[in-house]
Amino acid sequence: MFDGNSKTYWHGASPVTERNAVTVIFNDSIEFEKLKITARHDTIYEQKKYQNIKLYVDGVEEYCTKSDRHTNAGEIITLPAKAPKLAKNIEILFPEGFEAECGSFEIVYKGNKVYTSSKTIITKHPVECLAQFPNFLHDKRF
């Protein structure tokens, strides 16, 4: 998910002992618009892994994928905010009881792509690095 190669993917721990999530925390507020993830590129073995994915912006649920969603391999899934909003904390929670699978990850805010797994983009909000990416503070739980 974070290597710039859409043909690789992040797979949560198996067996699942805790709900899989990705949290991005910015030092400064951004005007968040949407989050985009790319489904596993080769085969979708379990559709439920892409159903009921929840987007939280500063702790408030903004979007949830449909419980009957059908996802194709390599499909880009967009999780929009209800309206652009200032935020520091962006989190996605994958469905309870299933390992997450995500090929790429991108946060888009007003006029700028803040983070994408395919390239590093310089933003007007530089933050201290807590991983190999200079644009955000990052915490993965799985």
Residue extents of the structural domains in the chain = 10-141
DSSP 6-43: TTS-EE--SS--S--EEEEEEEEEEEEEEEEEE--SS-
Class at the top of the CATH hierarchy for domain 10-141: mainly beta
Q: pLDDT band for 125, please (50, 70, 90 cuts).
A: very low
Task: Extract the runs of DSSP E, i.e. beta strands, from the chain.
Answer: 10-11, 21-38, 54-57, 60-64, 76-93, 101-102, 104-109, 112-116, 137-141
Contact indicator for 54, 95 with CB cutoff of 8 Å: no
What pLDDT digit, counting tens, does each position of 93-113 carry? 999 999 888 888 888 887 555
**C-alpha span between 66 and 84 (Å, rounded):** 21
* Predicted confidence (pLDDT) at residue 34 exceeds the cutoff of 60: yes
The residues that bridge with 83 in the sheet, in sequence order, are: none
* Predicted confidence (pLDDT) at residue 56 exceeds the cutoff of 90: yes
Contact indicator for 10, 101 with CB cutoff of 8 Å: yes
pLDDT recorded at residue 132: 34
Is the whole model's pTM more than 0.85, yes or no? no
